[in-house]
Structure 1
Amino acid sequence: MSLPIPRFHEDARAGQLYLERAADVAKEARLYAEANRIRPAREDKVRIAAFGIDVQVAFCTPGASLFVPGAVEDTQRTLRWLYANLGRVTELVFSLDTHRVFQIFHPSWWQDAGGQPPPPLTVITADDIRQGRWRPTRHPEESLAYCERLETSGKYVLTVWPFHALLGGLSHSLVPAMYEASLFHALVRDTPTWFELKGEHPLTENYSVLSPEVTEVRGQKVGEFNTRLFDHLMSFDRVYVFGQAKSHCVLSTLRDLRQHIERTDRSKMGRVVILEDAMSPVPAPPLDPLPAALDFPRVADEAVREFQQAGMRVARTTDPLDV
């Protein structure tokens, strides 16, 4: 049976910036738990995690530098799903893309022959660096080595993103409506929210919550697989995945989940449920011809089909919980 939407929640606020109403949320949580006879999460016999990937202002709020079209509607659907199933969702797990000004994918890291930074969405290849079309403003040898390693992986080439999710800035925060939901869930179910930061190392992109794009550059360790988080997620009977962007951080995280499950215990693949109407892809750049690797909506849809063929489940927020 679906639970009622809390009185403080309004769909229209899903894409808005405002201060979280912690006192109001906490007051309603106490009354809500009692009125609906909701038991603490520790008593759940079937344990369900709701895994939100980068549901942050940077990606989900109109006007933010990396706003993903469709993200507001995704957030609205996710919140309705979460509130309806609050009594059965055991824990909320959120990743937070976490960056600083000087990182290899930000404009401050690069300049052309005239000393100008690249515009957002510029693609920089290892050959561009060798030819001097783009020059690193710091760590030149490591920057070239990184691009070489990234291209060898076959997943992405280096993309220069606008400044986003900067630690200490508003764009780093969870969307306020989602943060209120996390607070409400924590108080109603008497369990803390799990927050996982990613993306702080200056010498690698970190689309996946579980691992950076490159783990070693010229003998320097720049990251590793997050075994602690993986083991925690796999301790649940179901892991519902949502967030932004479908073509990048969600896709990369699901790819890491799939690969590590295949290496460890294939029987756990069916625990992962992709909420397909709670995520959107980055739009393809306006290039003609458009390289296949940059057709982000197509890449995302194909990846989801592959994950489903591998044994992951695909659902919509309007579907009953798959347990």
Structure 2
Amino acid sequence: MPLPMPRFHEDARAGQLQLERGAEVAEEARRYAVEHRIRPAREDKVRIAAFGIDVQVAFCTPGASLFVPGAVEDTQRTLRFLYSHLDRITELVFSLDTHRAFQIFHPAWWRDAEGRPPAPMSVITAADVRAGRWRATRFPEESLAYCERLEASGRYVLTIWPYHALLGGLSHALVPAVYEASLFHALVRDTPTHFELKGEHPLTENYSVLSPEVTEVKGQKVGEFNTRLFDHLMSFDRVYVFGQAKSHCVLSTLRDLRQHIERTDPSKMGRVFILEDAMSPVPAPPLDPLPPALDFPRVADAALRDFQAAGMRVVRTTDALET
């Protein structure tokens, strides 16, 4: 039987900014654990991780600069899933997109011929840089090399994003209602939440939690595959994946998971469960014609079909957890 919602939980809070109610959550955790006879996570025979990708104010709260339409409803469904299965979820793992003002995908990095920064959602190609339509305000040679390597990967072209998930700012924080769920889980199951920061290097985008889009620029190492996190995730019998955005950070993380599982132990592919109703894509930019690579909803849906064909499980938050 699914567990009931804790007394402090309200669906409406999923999209709101608020201070976490630590004392209230802790008091309810003590009562809840006793009433429902919930055992510590270390006693789980089947170990289940709930892996939340960038469930942050920047992407999930209306009014934030990179709010993903649908994210509030995704968060509501996620919270119901987490609370309903609290006694079976061994660990919560959350990534935190972590940025500063001067990074290659933020407007401050670039200027046009008149000295103006690009508007958010602008696309900058290597050809644009070579032609002088855009110039980097710092590391010009490396910036051109980055655009070239990114395009050669066939995944994305450089997109200029609004300032978001800035370290020290409110948009960097986990959604408050989700943070309360993480605190509640930690106290009820007597186990800490695992937080993973990513995205701080100025010379690369870092959609995937496991690796940046480019790992080397003009001989300079700008990132590497996060083997430590991959091994940790694969130590669980199941990993339920949710978060934002379906077309970017979730997609890239799942792609890295798939590729590394295929290289190391394909039998583990079925451990990954994708909660398809707990993630939404970035809307496509208003371009006509729209390049196929920028049709983000289409790209996301096609990727989920590919992941399912590879052996990952696509499920919904309302599905029963398998025994």
Q: Which residue of 2 aligns with 1:260?
A: 260
| Alignment-derived partner of residue 284 in structure 1 | 284
Alpha-carbon offset, residue 322 of structure 1: 3.0
Match of 2:174 in 1: 174
List gaps (5 residues or longer) in structure 2: none
User: Aligned partner of 2:277: which letter?
Assistant: D
Query: Shift of the alpha carbon at 1:207?
Result: 0.1
Other-structure match for 1:297: 297
1:160-199 matched pairs, under 5 angstroms? 160-199=160-199
Task: Summarize the alignment of residues 163-242 of structure 1 with structure 2, pairs less than 5 Å apart.
Answer: 163-242=163-242
Partner of 2:250: 250
Q: Residue 198 of structure 1: CA displacement?
A: 0.1
Letter in 1 for 2:13: R
What runs of 5+ residues in structure 1 fail to find an aligned partner? none
Normalising by the residue count of structure 2, what TM-score does the alignment of the two structures yield? 1.00
Letter in 2 for 1:21: R
Runs of 4+ off more than 3 Å:
none
**Could you tell me how far apart the structure 2 residues matched to 1:69 and 1:8 are?**
26
1:29 aligns with 2:3: no
- For 2:98 and 2:274, how far apart are their aligned partners in 1? 24
Offset from partner CA, 1:43-73 (integer Å, 9 cap, x none): 0000000000000000000000000000000
State the SS of the aligned residue for 2:255. helix
C-alpha distance after superposition, 1:133-157 (max 9, x if no partner): 0000000000000000000000000
Alpha-carbon displacement from aligned partner over 1:239-282 (angstroms, at most 9, x marks no partner)? 00000000000000000000000000000000000000000000
The one-character-per-residue Cα deviations of 1:77-120 (angstroms, maximum 9, x if unpaired) are 00001100000000000000000000000000000011100000
Distance apart, 1:286 and its partner CA:
1.2
Q: Percent identity, aligned pairs only?
A: 85
Superposition RMSD on alpha carbons, in Å? 0.4
Q: Deviations over 1:198-243 (max 9, x none)?
A: 0000000000000000000000000000000000000000000000
Q: TM-score, normalised by structure 1?
A: 1.00
Name the CA distance, whole Å, in 2 between partners of 1:241 and 1:321. 14
What's the CA shift string for 1:170-193, capped at 9, x where partnerless? 000000000000000000000000
Amino acid at match of 2:146: Y
C-alpha separation between the residues in 1 aligned to 2:286 and 2:139?
Answer: 31
1: CA distance, partners of 2:98 / 2:288? 33
Deviation at 1:288, TM superposition (A): 1.6
Structure-to-structure mapping, 1:41-60, within 5 angstroms:
41-60=41-60
SS in 2 for 1:94: strand
Number of the residue aligned with 1:19: 19
Q: Distance in 2 between matches of 1:67 and 1:168?
A: 18
Secondary structure of 1:177 counterpart: helix
TM-fit CA distance, 1:290: 1.2
1:307 aligns with: 307
1:42 Cα deviation (Å)? 0.1
**SS in structure 2 of the partner of residue 208 of structure 1:** coil
